[in-house]
Chains A and B, each alone.
Chain A
Amino acid sequence: MLEKEILKEFQDIVGVENIDDGEVMTNAYAYNWCIEFVNYMEDKEPIPFSPIPKAVILPSSTEEVQKVVQLCNKYRIKFKAQSTGLGPWNQPSTDNSVILDLRRMNKIVKIDVKNLYAVVEPYVSGAQLQAETMKYGLNIHMPGAGPMASTLASHTSMAGPGFTSPQTGYSARNVLGTEWVLPTGEILRLGSFGLKNEPDWYSGDGPGPSLRGIMRGWVGTKSGLGVFTRVATKLFPYPCGTEYVLKGHSPIYDFKIPDFIRAYVVDCKNFKHLEKSFIRIEEEEIALICSHMSSYAVMAIFSYTLESLMDKIAFGSMKSPLVIVIAARTKREFDYKQKVMDYLMKELNLINIIGTKYEPESLFYAECLRTNLGYHGFIATGGFQSAKGQCDSAALCLRAEMKNKPLKQKYIEKGVIANDFGEGAWMTSYESGHFFHMEAPTFFDQTNVESVKGMGEYMEESNQMDLLKHLGVPFFIEGDHLHNHWGPHLMNYHNWLRKIKKIFDPNGVSDSGFYISGNEGDV
């Protein structure tokens, strides 16, 4: 709870109904997915609740956010901003914190068709934005988290690989002009949006250095360095015809499959051939989706219940599966892409399971187009998290997967994580194969303490292996403890990051639980 006078000051900014410091509200906001193993890893009780925020605040504009942040500075109260709010990163790290739920900031500011970008506020979901851009034949980059996640959060503050990354890249790389309430309360407008005359959103870089480099890295600052209130993100051509007809009833809707879309599921048999195939296919710049998954995950993306997953036996024995979806706007383009795929299948000695051993529901294609595939990850145990995540070459990603397999097997044998034969992986390329991303989704039971502990231990061990074997930095390296552990192995980057934090957040009010504190051990 807030002191009465302070509460009053917040109320004056957002209105009485838009701040709540009651027991029920603040407790509800202390809950999140995966907080239980974050707690465990921080030597706390593995319950799904973080520290309880002092209050929950619902600002409706950048100016309100600014004033709230200024007030936080005045009273040295930390703030944690959240958009659609999925995941432990949305949680405060201390009970001297307020949550800024940005739900009321939900406008699509503009869809600039001619300059191929959209400007959104925090609470515009991927599905909402995509539905609107489709009307112009345009597409967005959506993160693997799914269409219900905030486009702004993915682009400004989180990691950002997605199923359509071969064509739509990585969220951090799609950022243009941005509006950013700094931890001190100043409003920084990046790039062309910072112009005094005719500010516009088309560029986020300069004049001179690009402050996008401070705003976020490969992963974002997760509200550790202020609040992003509006962002311009690149748009892409919609991969096929935009007529979207989905009849029938939930969950297996009947989708009118667009004329020019086709799926391929192939087994590359081993990692070496998988790497070769992956790179060859991506070099041809034809794939909308090109993802490597474990055989279990392939079964899952075609299933809508755990029970029906068991029917997908055609995929179960695959060693190194690759899922490719091609889509085209015209018949010419489609014919060409199919021809390339035919050629590659022959060259790489691959057989497409789709159309021979298995025919997916039409809904599968809708889920490809609307990036709803990641959600299938929840059907096994209801709980999953990616234990690690790397991004560089295909070889690095595959090696990280390969090395992880026996480790994962160890924890499977302990019975603390679910058995996906140790193969659990999702890997995609960005930008037609210029980078690759790999993560290791792992199924655990968040209601089972042993499983939660096991997941935490496995994740720590897996990350430590990456460190020692030079397999790249996992994407959940955040918070003082992990930064301090990894920094010395990575050119002491943590010292620079800490300097950024210190100079941009002198009062340390932007909750750094999932970022870094200005002073070591400040959290």
Chain B
Amino acid sequence: MDEEEYQKMIKRCVRCSVCKWIPQVQIKSQKYASGCPAIDIYNYHPYSGGGKIILALAYEMGRIKPSEELRDIVYKCTVCGNCAVACKYMSTLEPIEIMMKLREKLVDTGCGPMPQQKTYIEAVKKVNNPYNEPHEKRMDWIPDDIHLDPKAKVLYYVGCTSSYRRKEMAIAAARIMNEAGISFNVLQEDEFCCGSPILRTGDSNTFEEILNKNLDIIESKGIETVVFSCAGCYDTFKVDYPLSRKYDFKVKHTVELFDELIESGQLKLTNNVPITVTYHDPCHLGRNAERYEDWDGDVVPLMPLISINIPPKPKRTGSKGIYDAPRNILKKIPGLKFVEMERIQEYAYCCGAGAGVKSAFPEMAIKTAKIRIEEAEDSGADILVSACPFCSTNLQDGIMDKNSKLKYFDISELILMALGLEPEKLKQATAEVA
């Protein structure tokens, strides 16, 4: 969003509060009507999407100044994007983009981001990952039996969280690709942070440097397809990178790839996995994974005060997220019973981890996770599944904190079970259910 558009848009919130909820017509219960973790936890209106638009306006009008108070409110948001989906059901406002712009402005004044976020940004700058882990240990997750092909045109971009924290996801993804006979490689020492955790704090300059570095490397290797098991990296590459720099390779999340492989018969799910599963749509894989479409039309004044876009300007409504692929996979696993939560797809409730919240406001992250865990419990599922390492960490923290009986797996782990490759894990999953 450019400055001109921003200045216009921040004056247009009607304070209707639909941003606090999932789309109104989708509300099926009182309990799961809300869509915004920030307002659920902090209650004051400025925590909502609309509230942040008001802050932006008040800021531009000089009514409020950069301050810790302002920074806290602006950063207590996982940028999950529900507000944008709910708002754009009818409106054309972009609460998330406005909020991101506001974060950028706070970074420019030195007020943002949060101290903890500054720390991880420094870590990325220093060791290429926000966890401040040694760069040389990035590929430690790779077991000996994984077959990599240095000449492969498919690149598996593992991401920081899977490399250092959620290794099981990286291993599972690699094993499944091996099982399907997909020739792939990893960047080894040339893999760096994708920049997502930096971008979401509003530090766009640092992000710009990172994306250029990453694209330079990938493009230099003649890669045709980049595969991600991390929803955050996927979203960043797919949606955010092209806003700064276009590229020619394809991007795919593993759920898309695996769904294709199952459909084509390259992966055969034969093992019985008798569990009841619900699926959590990661924001980065769902509503936020919808690309911006180019629009080169004209704003044509129709009559005083009313202009229309010719041709119509595409609106990111969250409808083009990756929703079917994970569900297709789950439905094809023998013996698995799939149940949905109330808030799904583009109106899924966030896990609570994103956009620097997990590091700056861990209490918010855990509270949000527990809300989502409860919803998963209410669905009747025994197992909660998702496809994002960040969701994985935070939801598992939530399960622990809530003392929930729910068990968490990444979707790739279920595929391994269905392929018969992880008998121990299957035993563990089914034992929990029993």
Determine the distance from Cα of A58 to Cα of B25 in the docked complex, in whole angstroms: 28
Looking at the assembled complex, report how far the CB atom of B17 sits from the nearest CB atom of chain A, in whole angstroms: 5
A382–B306 contact, CB under 8 A? no
B21 on interface, CB distance cutoff 8 Å: yes
Determine the distance from Cα of A306 to Cα of B346 in the docked complex, in whole angstroms: 22
Chain B interface size band reads 35 or more
Determine the distance from Cα of A256 to Cα of B102 in the docked complex, in whole angstroms: 41
B306–A418 contact, CB under 8 A? yes
Complex partner residue of A24 from B20, B69, B320, CB under 8 angstroms:
B69
Q: Scan residues 297-347 of chain B and give those whose CB is less than 8 A from a CB of chain A.
A: 303-306, 308-310, 312-313, 315, 317-320, 323, 345-347
Looking at the assembled complex, report how far the CB atom of B42 sits from the nearest CB atom of chain A, in whole angstroms: 9
A33–B44 contact, CB under 8 A? no
B14–A370 contact, CB under 8 A? no
B419 on interface, CB distance cutoff 8 Å: no
B15–A85 contact, CB under 8 A? yes
Interface 1/0s, chain A 292-320, versus B by CB < 8 A? 00000000000011111010000000000
Determine the distance from Cα of A310 to Cα of B61 in the docked complex, in whole angstroms: 35
Q: Scan residues 240-254 of chain A and give those whose CB is less than 8 A from a CB of chain B.
A: 244, 246, 248-251, 253
Cβ–Cβ < 8 Å partners of A58 in chain B? 43-44
A33–B33 contact, CB under 8 A? no
Looking at the assembled complex, report how far the CB atom of A296 sits from the nearest CB atom of chain B, in whole angstroms: 11
Looking at the assembled complex, report how far the CB atom of A495 sits from the nearest CB atom of chain B, in whole angstroms: 34
B69–A22 contact, CB under 8 A? yes
Cβ–Cβ < 8 Å partners of A86 in chain B? 14-17
Closest to A82 in B: B45
Complex partner residue of A49 from B13, B63, B85, B313, CB under 8 angstroms:
B63
Given contacts A58-B43, A251-B317, contact A381 B305 (CB under 8 A): yes
Interface 1/0s, chain A 103-131, versus B by CB < 8 A? 11000100000000000000011011111
Interface 1/0s, chain B 1-44, versus A by CB < 8 A? 00000001001111111101101111111100100000000011
Q: Which of A216-224, A440-448, A468-476 contacts B (4 or more CB under 8 A)?
A: A440-448
B45–A29 contact, CB under 8 A? yes
A146 on interface, CB distance cutoff 8 Å: yes
Cβ–Cβ < 8 Å partners of A127 in chain B? 21, 24, 27, 33
A350 on interface, CB distance cutoff 8 Å: no
Q: Scan residues 126-170 of chain A and give those whose CB is less than 8 A from a CB of chain B.
A: 127-132, 146-148
Looking at the assembled complex, report how far the CB atom of A381 sits from the nearest CB atom of chain B, in whole angstroms: 5
Looking at the assembled complex, report how far the CB atom of A305 sits from the nearest CB atom of chain B, in whole angstroms: 7
Given contacts A25-B44, A104-B43, contact A447 B28 (CB under 8 A): no
Given contacts A249-B345, A370-B24, contact A419 B88 (CB under 8 A): no
B67 on interface, CB distance cutoff 8 Å: yes
Complex partner residue of A28 from B46, B65, B309, B312, CB under 8 angstroms:
B46
B306–A131 contact, CB under 8 A? no
Cβ–Cβ < 8 Å partners of A20 in chain B? 44
A23–B21 contact, CB under 8 A? no
A27–B58 contact, CB under 8 A? yes
Cβ–Cβ < 8 Å partners of B309 in chain A? 306-307
Cβ–Cβ < 8 Å partners of B317 in chain A? 249-251
Q: Scan residues 347-379 of chain A and give those whose CB is less than 8 A from a CB of chain B.
A: 363, 366-367, 370, 372, 375-376, 378-379
Looking at the assembled complex, report how far the CB atom of A350 sits from the nearest CB atom of chain B, in whole angstroms: 29
Given contacts A251-B89, A446-B12, A447-B11, contact A108 B30 (CB under 8 A): yes
Q: Which of B49-57, B199-207, B373-381, B421-429 contacts A (4 or more CB under 8 A)?
A: B49-57
Closest to A22 in B: B69
A246–B25 contact, CB under 8 A? yes
B139 on interface, CB distance cutoff 8 Å: no
A31–B54 contact, CB under 8 A? yes
Complex partner residue of B25 from A253, A310, A382, A418, CB under 8 angstroms:
A253
A506 on interface, CB distance cutoff 8 Å: no
Cβ–Cβ < 8 Å partners of B43 in chain A? 18, 58, 101, 103-104
Cβ–Cβ < 8 Å partners of B346 in chain A? 249-250
A415–B25 contact, CB under 8 A? no
Cβ–Cβ < 8 Å partners of B28 in chain A? 131, 244
A23–B69 contact, CB under 8 A? yes
Interface 1/0s, chain A 363-405, versus B by CB < 8 A? 1001100101001101111110000000000000000000000
Given contacts A146-B24, A443-B305, contact A307 B312 (CB under 8 A): yes
Determine the distance from Cα of A34 to Cα of B92 in the docked complex, in whole angstroms: 18
Cβ–Cβ < 8 Å partners of A23 in chain B? 64-65, 67, 69
A324 on interface, CB distance cutoff 8 Å: no
Most A-side CB within 10 Å, residue of B13, B15, B310:
B15
Q: Scan residues 55-95 of chain A and give those whose CB is less than 8 A from a CB of chain B.
A: 56, 58, 84-87
B91 on interface, CB distance cutoff 8 Å: yes
A101–B44 contact, CB under 8 A? yes
Given contacts A28-B46, A28-B51, A250-B85, contact A33 B26 (CB under 8 A): no
Determine the distance from Cα of A23 to Cα of B70 in the docked complex, in whole angstroms: 9
Cβ–Cβ < 8 Å partners of A25 in chain B? 44, 46, 69, 73
Closest to A35 in B: B15
Cβ–Cβ < 8 Å partners of A178 in chain B? none
B90 on interface, CB distance cutoff 8 Å: yes
A375–B33 contact, CB under 8 A? no
Cβ–Cβ < 8 Å partners of A104 in chain B? 43
A182 on interface, CB distance cutoff 8 Å: no
Cβ–Cβ < 8 Å partners of B310 in chain A? 307
Given contacts A28-B51, A306-B308, contact A418 B24 (CB under 8 A): no
Cβ–Cβ < 8 Å partners of A108 in chain B? 30
Known A127-B33, A310-B308, A419-B304; 5 more pairs at CB < 8 Å: A31-B13, A33-B15, A253-B23, A253-B26, A382-B14
Q: Provide 6 A-B residue pairs closer than 8 Å at the C-beta atoms, listed in order of the A residue.
A: A31-B58, A132-B29, A250-B89, A307-B308, A370-B25, A378-B16
* Shortest beta-carbon contacts, A-B, top 4: A249-B319, A415-B304, A307-B312, A28-B46
